[in-house]
Structure 1
Amino acid sequence: MVTNKYITRIASVIMAAAVILCLMASLFSDKLQEVYGNNAVTMKYESKLFSTDQIMDIDILMDEDDWNDMLENAISEEYYSCDVVVNGKTFYSVGIRPKGNTSLSSIVNDPDTDRYSFKLEFDHYIEGQTCYGLDKLILNNNYADATNMKEAIVYDMYQYLGVDGKDGDGWQMGEKPDGEDFPQKGEMPDGADFPQKGEMPDGEDFPQKGEMPDGADFPQKDEMPDGEDFPQMGEAPNGEAADIKMGIMGGNGGSDLNYTDDDLDSYSTIWDGEITDTDKKDHKRVVEALKNISEGTDLETYMDVDNILKYMAVHTFVVNDDSLSGTMAHNYYLYEYNGKLNILPWDYNLSFGGMSMGGKMGGQSLGATSVINDAIDTPFSITDFFNALLENEEYLEQYHGYLNELVEKYVNGGEFEKTYERIRSQIDDLVGNDPTAFYSYEEYEEAANMLIEVVQLRAKSVSGQLAGTIPSTDEGQQQDSSNLIDGSDIDLSVMGSFSGGGGGNEGQGKDNGFAGTPQPFDAGDVSPISEEKADLQDSNQDSVK
């Protein structure tokens, strides 16, 4: 069996998964009941596992040779057998494997760490085995997030506004959702794996065993989402699929959700990213919806307007450019049900400026100022999907109302502080005792404190934009930056930065990778930031103090 040395190596990974999973359980419990009836609220995992009042305790028991072999061959993402003790209960012959895309490749190439994320699959070797109803669980490694809580905070915001999930056909854009995080035949989101730690979308230029995938423009990890996590028309997906290509630069193949024509082949990236089994009838409904949305026709018929406005509010507030609000059309879930489209959130480890730690406006270096003042009325760079909502006076007011609720009630009203303090009380000791953490405890404390300051400054800017004292569009801020909230004393890299060589800043130096010199990147790194929001053609040293 694996000695205590190896068990403690994943203690903090377990902590991160538990915090996020508990939030996701609460976030989707009402919708699970709506979709599946009472069966959705009687599963044992709700009382046994998912409560924000406690941290899950998980031990991995595994033959030491198998453990070492799994780590040495992590890039293959092959399953091994282990026993898992979850909150004192042992589950035997559970499948375990390393998981990730860029985070996995980075750790494989980093000689100083073997801190992988893991996927546990309880029914991999024993058919029908679950953990109190869950068949899969993800243990994330907190890659590129020195705060250890960005995603937990963001999903708490979504929960606060009541963002929900819908039953229907599902398509996922960007990274593979290891963990099957959404309701599956009356079960809790498996692994709640929206929050990925710094992973890149499938389709980027990280070679898989030195070979090019068929039909791909770049070497990639080219896997289908494990588990097909979304219910299709109220039914559970059939098994797992593989070898589906996802992740496209610049929205090729329809992943930017822009209507181009009625040819289904024009939206091939959406269909290739399917998580449930879909056919041409489903695809035609999606294209019809995109067409009407682009024309601003019958929006209530073709969009889940209220839910999407809530999504827009949280997504805009937290400034996550590793998404549709950046220049890559990925990191979101698209739902279709009876011809109505819905957007669901995913992947927020690079929120609060993790992708945009620099920029210029009017020739002046802005650094964190550009993130803190990110324009609320022009939040999306490459997609027109949200334009009709932003151009409609009624919906714009509703969207502004949700932003104001985040400012006045969630942040200024104390909900953010309460959630933050709860999480700190739960994870401080775990982070401090974690022997494989990407960041020291001192760096964690500094990052966590910086998160408070950034959230508060962001709330101040959003409030000013809503009141009209700060321009609420990119163009307006370019013309008049006099009233922008000053972020010149903020070093966003303190909260963690994406880097091709490891999980964080520790041991790398702030002149390495993204934190030191923001600039355009190859597809294998990260997407460039929107030109409207930041001029990344020039190096900007002011983003790092």
Structure 2
Amino acid sequence: MLKTRYVVASIGLLIVIFVAVMFFLPNLQIDIANKGNTYTETVFDQSKVTKVDITVADDDLASILENPSEKEIVNADVTIDGETVKNVGFRTKGNLSLNSVVQMEDSDRYSWKIDFDHYQEDQDLHGLKKLALNNNYSDPTYTREYLSYTLMEKMGIATPGHSYMYVTINGKEWGLYLGVEAIEETFLDTNFSEGTGDLYYPDGTGSDLKWISDDIDDYTGINLKTNGNSDQSAMIKMLDVINNGGDLEEVLDVDEMLRYFAANTALVNLDHYQGMLKHNYYLYEENGIFSILPWDYNMSFGGFSGGGGGPAADGDKETEKGQEAANNRDVKAVDQREPTTVTEDSSPANNNDNNAKAKLPDGAPNMNGGAMMGDMSANFMDESTINFSITEPVMGTTLEDRPLLNALLSTEEYREKYYEYLNDIATDYFSEENMTAMTEKVTALITPYVEKDPTKFYTMDEYTKAISGEETLVDFATQRADSILAQLSGDLVVEAETQSSMGGAAPNMEKEKGAAMQPPNMGNDENGAPMQPPNMGDGENGVPMQPPNMKDGENGMAMQPPGMNRDMDSGGGINSSYSKETIILSSVLLLLLFGAIAFAHSFRRRGRKG
């Protein structure tokens, strides 16, 4: 018969195991959660082009195509890689790109949104609730958005799942799209420790995050997407701190935001918070700390005209303000290239009917300084785009009118970290070797699908020129990297960005004959002292600064900035939480513990009777 001391020792061991498991389980949260949500590997398989077949009633499809701007939701069945999900919501999506395609004569190549849970709340596809199908509008390379999300991932930013998908609707080929995970509850649950905080999609009044009042109702464009009953006090506190002063780390995941804005600045992505329209980004608050999330990158790599022209956002005359601010600056330029000429051959084509060119109706807004709206990417290699300022990284507005970014860059410590991340991007991700390897891999995958795409906006000649001609995204990245490094070292001075790079004046880039170029004017810090440019020579204690730890990833060149392990992310990243699976497992362990105690009690009673 077992001795009592062995039973007690066993019970003690079980207690130790129980406590240890309860302590370490939160750190295993993401692994447990992902077992139920496998869509990042199954739906977004980046090793292939996924086939997406959509079946919808003919009358419903006709209704959508007659009134695409209405974003009417209809019932559909969707088959993805042979797996069918019935009774899903299906509609058009987008804003600028949607309206642009509406204005085209012979094109129905809209972006689409699929809501797997629209009619059945518990329905999903391997955990995925919503899928966006983006039409690659204004991108002859088909790769701007894909490569931008890849950079965000490598910078440790929570990034939606994404991969290429070839779409058919009712058996008719609609073409090659980029499938992107919608940012909503499932995304939050997968990427954050709790995933239950307030999610915002700013677009409208207040989306510049400027202080209006302490009444959240005055910020009509903040757009709370989750937790409809939230008092949004955390948002008001964050707005107060970034506008009126306070400890940024009490309201922001500062390091995450610095990585994000460094990537966005390197990409010259101006259809965004840093541009005149102040949209296409998400804010997520968890336990009072805000993170910023990437969205909509088809006009990155300098593909958005940005500042001088186009409609003002929300009727607030922001465009005019940005224009006036630009005109009031002392703008000079040396070694300025001639602006790219946009010809009919470089404008987007629709291939439904004899490659008819897209046309804009009279009075349509011209976003491209004279070129058609659909070809805003034509001038992406202009010098003013390549040399987009890293010290004042906004276009069509002022840094002061973007208080979130301004608050971060006004603090010397944060500004220096932001420069370090820009240096990381310029020396690694934007290196010619890395960009060439990535673009060759992606284009080898998608080119056969581009060739057969019947609705593509560009001809095959235009696509081929965009991916292998004299001006490609590789050329943009390498020249942009040179500019970033020159600005960091002080060899290139960019005093101010002006109007749109698609027709505005170039930045001031002066160098006196025989004189060393001066570092950028950084303005004054919070104490009134002149801000200094980044020190790219010696680091702490006079030791030369070393490049960050670059872990091998895709093509052996993937970048992992220091401290970017999302499992150890602070203030809103993945850290510790108790999921449903954690609770179930803990309950089982607790039952086992109680069972062991009951066994020990029974054993002792039998021992006394003996």
Q: Do the structures match in fold with TM over 0.5?
A: yes
Partner of 2:214: 262
Contact kept? 1:107, 1:113, Cα under 8 Å: yes
CA offset digits 1:275-328 (Å, max 9, x no partner):
112557423x22222322335532222211110000110010011222221222
| Residue in structure 2 matched with residue 362 of structure 1 by the alignment | 332
State the Cα deviation string for residues 348-372 of structure 1 (Å, max 9, x = none). 2122222238989427765411000
- Residue 489 (structure 2) aligns with: 467
After TM superposition, give the deviation of residue 59 of structure 1 in Å: 1.6
* TM-score, normalised with respect to structure 1: 0.63
Q: Deviations over 1:388-444 (max 9, x none)?
A: 322322222211111111111112273332321221111111111111111011111
- Quote the residue 1:182 is aligned against: 183
- Give the letter for the 1:467 counterpart: S
- Structure 2 counterparts to residues 68-107 of structure 1, below 5 A: 68-107=62-101
For 2:106 and 2:133, how far apart are their aligned partners in 1? 20
Partner-residue secondary structure (3-state), 1:269: coil
1:503 counterpart residue number: none
Of 370, 380, 392, which aligns to 1:378? 392
Q: Does 1:133 align with 2:127?
A: yes
CA contact 1:232–1:277 (8 Å) conserved in 2 = no
Query: Pick from 410, 421, 433: which aligns with 2:440?
Result: 421
Deviations along 1:246-275, whole A, 9 cap, x unmatched? Answer: 633xxx4x32122354344443432xx111
Q: Deviations over 1:15-59 (max 9, x none)?
A: xxxxxxxxxxxxxxxxx9987661234423244222221221112
User: TM-score, structure 2 length as denominator?
Assistant: 0.57
Percent of residue pairs identical: 36
For residues 448-489 of structure 1, give each alpha carbon's deviation from its aligned partner in whole angstroms, at most 9, with x where no partner exists: 242221111111101111111011541898554359xxxxxx
How much is the aligned-residue C-alpha RMSD, in angstroms? 3.5
1:181 CA drift (Å): 1.9
2:203 maps to 1:247: yes
- Structure 1 portions without partners, runs of 5+: 1-31, 167-177, 190-229, 239-243, 484-545
Number of the residue aligned with 1:432 = 451
Does structure 1 conserve the Cα–Cα contact (< 8 Å) formed by 2:495 and 2:509? no
Match of 1:319 among 268, 271, 281: 268
Question: Which residue of 57, 64, 71 maps to 2:51?
Answer: 57
Q: Which residue of 1 aligns with 2:224?
A: 274
Deviations 1:181-240 (A, max 9, x none): 235247888xxxxxxxxxxxxxxxxxxxxxxxxxxxxxxxxxxxxxxxx999633999xx
Confirm whether residue 387 of structure 1 aligns to residue 406 of structure 2. yes
Matched letter for residue 393 of structure 2 = P
Larger Rg, first or second structure (1 or 2): 2
**CA distance in 1 between partners of 2:189 and 2:464 (Å):** 32
Aligned pairs for 1:509-524 (under 5 A) are none
- The alpha-carbon distance between structure 1 residues 232 and 73, as it changes in their structure 2 partners (threshold 3 A), is farther
Runs (5+) with no aligned partner, structure 2 = 1-25, 161-178, 309-325, 340-381, 499-505, 513-610
Aligned counterpart in structure 2 of residue 119 of structure 1, from 103, 107, 113: 113
The 2-side partners of 1:106 and 1:475 are apart by 27
1:129-528 → structure 2 map (5 Å cutoff): 129-164=123-158, 181-182=182-183, 184-185=185-186, 234-235=195-196, 247-248=203-204, 252=205, 254-270=206-222, 273-278=223-228, 281-283=231-233, 285-356=234-305, 361-362=331-332, 367=339, 368-380=382-394, 381=398, 382-412=401-431, 414-449=433-468, 450-474=472-496, 478-482=507-511
* CA distance in structure 2 between the partners assigned to 1:310 and 1:411 by the alignment: 15
Quick one: structure 1 residues 428 and 418, their matched pair in 2 at CA, closer, same or farther if it must change by over 3 Å?
same
Does the aligned pair in 1 maintain the 2:98–2:110 contact within 8 Å?
yes
How far apart, CA to CA, are the structure 1 residues paired with 2:30 and 2:247? 29
Do the aligned partners of 1:84 and 1:90 also contact (CA within 8 Å) in 2? Answer: yes
Question: 1:188 and 1:349, CA in 2 relative to 1: closer, same or farther beyond 3 A?
Answer: farther
CA distance in 2, matches of 1:451, 1:101: 25
| The 10-residue stretch of structure 1 (52-61 or 120-129) with the greater mean CA deviation from structure 2 | 120-129
Q: Name the CA distance, whole Å, in 1 between partners of 2:39 and 2:131.
A: 12
CA deviation profile, 1:57-76 (whole Å, cap 9, x unmatched)? 11223444543343234333
Instruction: Within 5 Å, give how 1:8-27 maps onto structure 2.
Output: none
Q: Distance in 1 between matches of 2:84 and 2:489?
A: 55
Q: Amino acid of the residue matched to residue 430 of structure 2?
A: V
CA distance in 1, matches of 2:40, 2:290: 29
Task: Give the residue type in structure 2 aligned to 1:256.
Answer: D
